[in-house]
Amino acid sequence: MARLVLKFGGTSVADLDRIRNVARHVKREVEAGHQVAVVVSAMAGQTNKLVEFCREAAPLHDAREYDAVVASGEQVTSGLLAIVLQEMGVNARSWQGWQVPIKTDENHGAARIREIDGSFLTERLEQGQVAVLAGFQGISPDNRIATLGRGGSDTSAVAIAAAVKADRCDIYTDVDGVYTTDPRIVPRAQRLERVSFEEMLEMASLGAKVLQVRSVEMAMVHNVRTFVRSSFDDPDAPQAGEDGLPIGTLICDEEELVEQQVVTGIAYAKDEAQISLRDVADKPGVAESVFGPLADSHINVDMIVQNISPDGKTTDITFTVPEGDFERAKKVLHDNREDIGFQNVEGATDVVKVSVIGIGMRSHAGVAAQCFRGLASKGINIRAITTSEIKISVLIDSAYAELAVRTLHSLYGLDG
């Protein structure tokens, strides 16, 4: 017997037929003797509708009331799934985030989980009851519902798995695992059997949409073994591969990986924007004067390139921000122009970040040189580069995105 947390996303619970299919997955695990908690998202498209209602009601709405509205989608799904499970003869009860309670910070709309007391849920599970939990939400210090931001149900599921000391957390989604790259771009992309927390964190933050970044962070911190599985598989079909593990991708500690490839996958992110500050005074503190105000405005900066002028008096600073923050970032810079001391701002949104990821890169030389050589052979110019122990990211013109992904996928032997 194991203790499992199962998470089902919006497409998996899109309508009552899909919810009934989810219930069959849950019932299968219960009949196998497992203790089961389920975390659900809102039905596909419902959160978008609720967000739009808020915007139509008032463009500058109260974030606390926004949370009260958008959290209702998960409440509906959890209640419906509990009803369907009960109809199937499964002892189930739905719970909202505030009832657990999942305690968050005060940042409404994008709250972070501070604490979950797992004793209440553990007691229910030990009594043989399936706990169906509304994902994406918790309760803030002001005793209000707080939502965790888009993709927050993944984070809810991993946090709950950690709180109840689950044996694993199964994330059911509309794909059957994590692939070496986007199969829509590279049809020969391969499903990964296992991937380390670190690699998945890089892949999620660099464009892979399978898991939300914060959920991977939490899984890594609490060492929650996480599976990515397809909810569209027949619940009655064989659920385990040759190794006895579910069919999908296991995200786990690096020590569980039997064989470490040099490169695990290629990720890409189209929602990037490039900003360049020209003729900035080259003096101590100038970087803080640029990036301090951006940080205060909660704008994430990624790639940073600084070029010194021949006379050593001025510098050009180029960096990237999420495309959604492009205009806001430029305004912040203009508002602080006097302190920064730049001549002008240039920007571009027709860029894409392509990344090569793999823990095997730590012990292999020449991976970056291969990347640059391969892109050059296709006539692809690199605007900026950033690296870490297990990744190389390059910023290129968006017109070359698919060519770059296909080129690098083949170059590192990832084609099936």
Q: What angle do CA 27, 31, 35 make, to 5 degrees?
A: 85
User: What digits encode the pLDDT tens for the residues 188-237?
Assistant: 999 999 999 999 998 888 777 788 888 999 999 999 999 999 888 888 77
Share of the chain above pLDDT 70, in %: 97
Tens digits of per-residue pLDDT, 327-364? 999 999 999 998 898 889 999 999 999 999 999 888 88
pLDDT band at residue 114 using 50, 70 and 90 as cut-offs: very high
Report the alpha-carbon distance of residue 169 to residue 11 in Å, rounded.
19
Beta strands in 225-283 (DSSP E): 226-230, 249-252, 265-281
CATH architecture of the domain with residue range 3-255: 3-Layer(aba) Sandwich (3.40)
- pLDDT score, position 14: 95
The full set of domain ranges for the chain reads 3-255, 260-415
Tokens of 261: 């490839």
pLDDT digits (tens, 9 = 90+) for 93-105: 999 999 999 999 9
Enumerate residues 6+ apart whose C-beta is below 8 A from 203.
Answer: 178, 195, 210, 264, 265, 267, 357
C-beta separation of 257 from 196 below 8 A: yes
Bridge partners of residue 315, in order along the sequence: 280, 308
Is the pLDDT assigned to residue 260 strictly greater than 80?
A: no
Note the CATH number of domain 260-415.
Answer: 3.30.2130.10
User: In angstroms, rounded to a whole number, what is the distance separating the alpha carbons of residues 344 and 358?
Assistant: 38
Compute CA 175 distance to the chain's CA centroid, rounded to the nearest angstrom.
Answer: 15
For residue 405, what are the contacts with CB-CB under 8 A and spacing of at least 6?
181, 182, 185, 186, 266, 268, 354
Question: In this predicted structure, what is the pLDDT of residue 242?
Answer: 61
> Would you state the pLDDT for residue 259?
66
Which residues participate in the annotated binding site for ATP? 7-10, 173-174, 179, 184, 209-210
pLDDT confidence tier of residue 241, bands split at 50, 70 and 90: low
Phi, psi of 22 (to 5 degrees): -60, -45
Of 34-38, 202-206, 282-286, 318-322, the range with the highest mean pLDDT is 34-38
Binding residues for substrate: 47, 74
Angstrom distances, CA of residue 35 to CA of 25, 238, 297: 13, 20, 43
What's the pTM value of the predicted model, to 2 decimals? 0.85
